[in-house]
A and B are shown apart, each in its own frame.
Chain A
C-alpha cells in the first residue's frame, strides 16, 4: 500500500466535487481534488435558483468560494486533469496529465459531462472507418499510418503523444491549448505536428477516411482522426474500472441513493449521474458521496 495514501480522491472540481470535498474533509478524511475550476460547466453560468443565494451569483464566484471552503477543511487541490484510473487491491490509483500517480482508498467521480462529437460533415459517416473517439482503444489499428487528433485539452494532447508509438505521422489540430506547462513541453519536444488556430471543417473519404479539411484551408492526408474534446470523461475513466452505466442512454453512471456505483469504494455525483443539470442536485449528491466515501475509507483504514 502506498505511503501517501489519500482517503478520498475526487475527480472534477465543479459543485459536486467541491461539496464532496467539504463533507469528506469535514469528517477528517485526507482529501485530494483533481481538475480545473474553469472546466466546470458552472464556471461561465449565472446562478439565480440556488437556495439561500438570493442575489444572482456567477458560477466562478461560487466555485472559488467552494474551493476556499474545501481548503479550509483541509482538502488538497491538484490543478490537473486525470488521464488514467486503475483499481488496485484496497485502493484506486489515478494518473494526472503530468504523469504523477496518486492513490486513494475511495474515489468520487464528479467530472460532469462534456461534448464528445465534433458535429462536422463526414464525422457520423466514418465512425469506425477512420473516425474514433478513443485513442486508448483504437491506436493499435493505425500502426504505420498517418492520423490526426483534434481537441484543445489534455485528452487530445496525451492522445497525440500516445499515438506517436503507433502511427507514422501524428497531427494535432487545436484552436488554443489549455494544458499544463509540463504537458506543453512534452508536446513541443515530440514529433507531433501541430496545426494551431485551426479546427476541423470536414472529414473526407470514399469508403474510409482519406483526408481532413481544416478551417485554415489546409488539408491533412490521414487514415484516421481521433476526436478528443475536453478532458477524459466517464466513458474513458469510469468504464475502465468496470462501472455500470444507465441502461437508457448509456451515458451516465448508475448510483444508488448513497451515490455508490457498482464498484465498492467508487462513488459518483453531479451531472455525471444524469439530469437535471442543476447546481442544487450536484451539491446534494456531492454531500452524500463525500460523507459516504469518508466513512468507507475510515472502515478500510481500521480493518
Chain B
C-alpha cells in the first residue's frame, strides 16, 4: 500500500513533486465542476492503491493555477498525463474505463 494517496499538486509544487520526482508520476488535471472528472476520480484512487508504490499519483485542480495546464496545452478535462524523468510519456483525454487507464499506467512500470 502507498503511504500518501492521491497527492494534490499546484503551480508552486509541480516542478519539485512531479518534474524532479525520482519516480514516474501520473497527473489528473481536473476541476470541481466537471462531471467526467468526478467519474474517473475513484478509478484513479483505486489505481493508486495498486501502483502507488512505484508511481506518484497526483491531481491538479485547474482552478488553482493556469500556468501548468497551459504549459501542457490542456484544453479539456479530465486530462491525465504520465511523466517520467520530467518529460511527458503519454496523455489521455476524457473519462475512460479502469482497464484503459491501467494499460496507460503500465507504460512506465
Q: B-contacting residues of A (Cβ < 8 Å)?
A: 127-134, 136-138, 140-142, 208, 224, 235-240, 242-245, 247-250
B47 at the interface (CB under 8 A from A): no
B90 to chain A, nearest CB (A): 12
State whether A141 and B39 are in contact (beta carbons under 8 Å apart), knowing that A128-B93, A247-B98 are contacts in the complex: no
New contact pairs (12) apart from A138-B75, A239-B39, CB-CB < 8 Å: A127-B94, A128-B74, A128-B91, A129-B75, A134-B36, A134-B76, A137-B33, A137-B35, A138-B76, A140-B31, A239-B36, A240-B35
Given B34, B62, B91, B100, which contacts A134 in the complex, CB threshold below 8 Å?
B34
A137 touching B42 in the complex, CB below 8 Å, given contacts A236-B35, A248-B97, A248-B99: no
Cβ distance B92 to chain A, nearest Cβ, rounded Å: 8
Q: How many contacts between A and B, using CB within 8 angstroms?
A: 78
A-B contact pairs, 26 of them (CB 8 A): A128-B75, A128-B76, A128-B79, A128-B91, A129-B75, A132-B76, A134-B36, A137-B31, A137-B33, A137-B34, A137-B77, A138-B77, A141-B75, A208-B75, A224-B75, A238-B35, A239-B35, A239-B36, A239-B38, A239-B95, A240-B38, A243-B39, A245-B39, A247-B97, A247-B98, A249-B97
Residues of B within 8 A of A138 (CB): 75-77
Give chain A residues whose Cβ lies under 8 Å from the Cβ of B91: 128
How far, in whole Å, are A141 and B69 apart by their CA atoms in the complex? 9
Mark each residue of chain B from 15 to 58: 1 if its CB lies under 8 Å from any CB of chain A, else 0.
00000000000000001011111110010000000000000000
Given the known inter-chain contacts A129-B73, A141-B75, please indicate yes or no for A235 contacting B97, CB distance below 8 A. no
Q: Would B97 and A141 count as touching, CB distance under 8 A?
A: no
